[in-house]
Amino acid sequence: MLSHKYSTGFTFIELMVTLAILGVLASAAYPMAKLAVQRNKEHELKQGLRQIRMAIDAYKQAADEGKIRKSTTDSGYPVTLEILVEGVENAKDIEHHNMYFLSRLPRDPFADNSLNPAESWGKRSYASPPEQPENGDDVFDVYSKATGVGINGIPYREW
């Protein structure tokens, strides 16, 4: 029998070098993964804002066309965000079917998960100025309540 003077395997130094290389790769990958998560949330925010704003505009157009009953003092904008999903009666339809403007209300991806989707958004009424949006008798626009700034340098609240 022949005996081997040196056993096969890795030396301690080889293991340490390998671990150091893996550590450098992991530390480089973490910021990229974090950026990808932020980019995904920003995409969801942009999509949610677009969907809600289009639904608000469609509601207003239906109100202006007389499909939604309103008083002379009403602005024609929805009273709540939920009404866009719940639907309203079509006043011009003989059978009075409901009109729906959203299949579901998207939530603000930066908001607390304990809030329902309608509460996750900031709401601006028709009567409030754009620089100081406030709740009111209707929902003219929505905005994110998030305090952060997007990758593009614009605060989420101003999207």
pLDDT for 32 equals: 84
Residue 152: enclosing H or E segment and its boundaries? Answer: none
Q: What distance separates the 2 farthest-apart alpha carbons in the chain? A: 105
Per residue in 13-30, pLDDT tens?
A: 888 889 999 988 888 888
Sign of torsion over alpha carbons 29, 30, 35, 41 = positive
**Collapsing DSSP states into helix, strand and coil, what is residue 99?**
strand
* Dihedral class, residue 49 (left if φ above 0, else alpha if ψ from -120 to 50, else beta): alpha
Q: Domain residue spans in the chain? A: 14-158
**Collapsing DSSP states into helix, strand and coil, what is residue 80?**
coil
- Can you name the residues that pair with 121 across neighbouring β-strands? 144
Per residue in 97-149, pLDDT tens?
A: 999 999 999 999 999 888 899 999 999 999 998 888 999 899 999 999 999 99
